[in-house]
Amino acid sequence: MSQWSDSDLLDAQVLIAHIINKPRAWVLAYPEASLSAGQIEDIERALSRLKRGESLPYVLGHREFYGLDFIVTPHTLIPRPETELLVEHALAWLETHPSRRRVVDVGTGSGCISIILAKHIPNLSMFGTDLSWHALRVARKNAYRYKLKGQVRFIQCDLLSGIQASFDLICANLPYIPTQRLQKLQVFKKEPTLALDGGLDGFHLLRRLLQQAPARLAPGGLLLLEIDASHPEKAQALARGLFPNAEINVFPDLAGENRLLSIQDQSEAIDLSCSRFKK
């Protein structure tokens, strides 16, 4: 492994620890430990995948995100720490709006956002949409792991096309990297292009979802979109054109990068809990 970088060696250690079901510290402390023939074969096969450039979470078959472990495959985007900002804002809003419980996660991928929201808000009516049937298979497996099969419903569709329901909260981590920039990144062809490529300007899918959203967002509802840090002003301008009466903000992630577009509708929602509706 002399030609491997420090990062490659770290990945290899994590991989070996995973296969032999030991902590990475144990692997480092006992380099002379005997392994079974089956373990050696599994390690060699997995290390070969790493050496060919496959991402570690795909080789492991899982990735931790927001305290939960999720199945991931080459058909799904690998969850990233910056997406936790969207999750945190969604949970905070839901906790302060107890009557708002219809939520959709557009472009759900592995289902991580949908599942985390449903785990934290047990009475949530949660939907996840994705164009990829293969990604939805993974999302359903993850929901089954956390006993949320009945609470989280996954639908194969293009963004919100064909869905007539309205939602209190619309979340989305859609592809937002401009095509030309994506092709220069290390992640290109290592993760599904469908989940990364935002088109010529990075707004191909974001623009379409924002055009669909006014008819799908309930009065007083919230729309949360993860965006590329390089174009927050354009994202805000686009949002203002489609939601002229909304409160629109961009929030930075822990690295200080503008990452989350928040669109809070200012229309008055009908509160069915008001006394004039009670018998």
Locate tokens 């929901």: which residue? Answer: 143
pLDDT at 4: 58
Strand partners, 252: 258
Q: Note whether 269 and 261 are within 8 A (CB).
A: no
pLDDT at 165: 92
Where does the pLDDT of residue 24 fall: very low under 50, low under 70, confident under 90, or very high at 90 and above? confident
Where does the pLDDT of residue 6 fall: very low under 50, low under 70, confident under 90, or very high at 90 and above? low
Rounded average pLDDT over 73-98: 96
pLDDT at 5: 61
Q: Note whether 218 and 269 are within 8 A (CB).
A: yes
Q: Give the dihedral sign, CA 225/228/231/233.
A: positive
DSSP 3-state of 77? coil
Q: What is the chain's mean pLDDT, rounded?
A: 89
**pLDDT higher than 50, residue 144:** yes
How many percent of the chain have pLDDT more than 70?
Answer: 93
**pLDDT higher than 60, residue 270:** no
DSSP 3-state of 74? coil
Q: Please give the backbone phi and psi of residue 84, each rounded to the nearest 5 degrees, phi first.
A: -65, -25
CB burial of residue 193 (10 Å; 0-12, 13-18, 19+): middle
Predicted model pTM: 0.87
